[in-house]
Amino acid sequence: DTEVTQTPKHLVMGMTNKKSLKCEQHMGHRAMYWYKQKAKKPPELMFVYSYEKLSINESVPSRFSPECPNSSLLNLHLHALQPEDSALYLCASSYNYLDTQYFGPGTRLTVL
Shortest Cβ distance from residue 49 to another protein (Å)?
A: 13
- Return the number of the residue (79 or 105) whose C-beta is nearest another protein: 105
Strands 107-111 and 10-13 come out as parallel
- Looking at the DSSP bridge assignments, the partners of residue 108 are 10, 88
Shortest Cβ distance from residue 16 to another protein (Å)?
A: 27
- Return the number of the residue (6 or 81) whose C-beta is nearest another protein: 6
CA separation for the pair 23, 76 (Å, rounded): 8
- Cα torsion 63, 61, 55, 103: sign: positive
CA separation for the pair 112, 101 (Å, rounded): 32
Strands 87-94 and 31-37 come out as antiparallel
Stretch that binds another protein, among 18-26, 44-52, 63-71, 74-82 (CB under 8 A): 44-52
Could you say which residues in the range 46-105 bind another protein, by CB under 8 A? 48, 56, 58, 88, 90, 92, 97-103, 105
**How many residues are recorded in the chain?**
112
Q: Which of 1, 10, 16, 42 binds another protein (CB under 8 A)?
A: 42
Binding footprint of another protein on the chain (CB under 8 A): 37, 41-45, 48, 56, 58, 88, 90, 92, 97-103, 105-106, 108
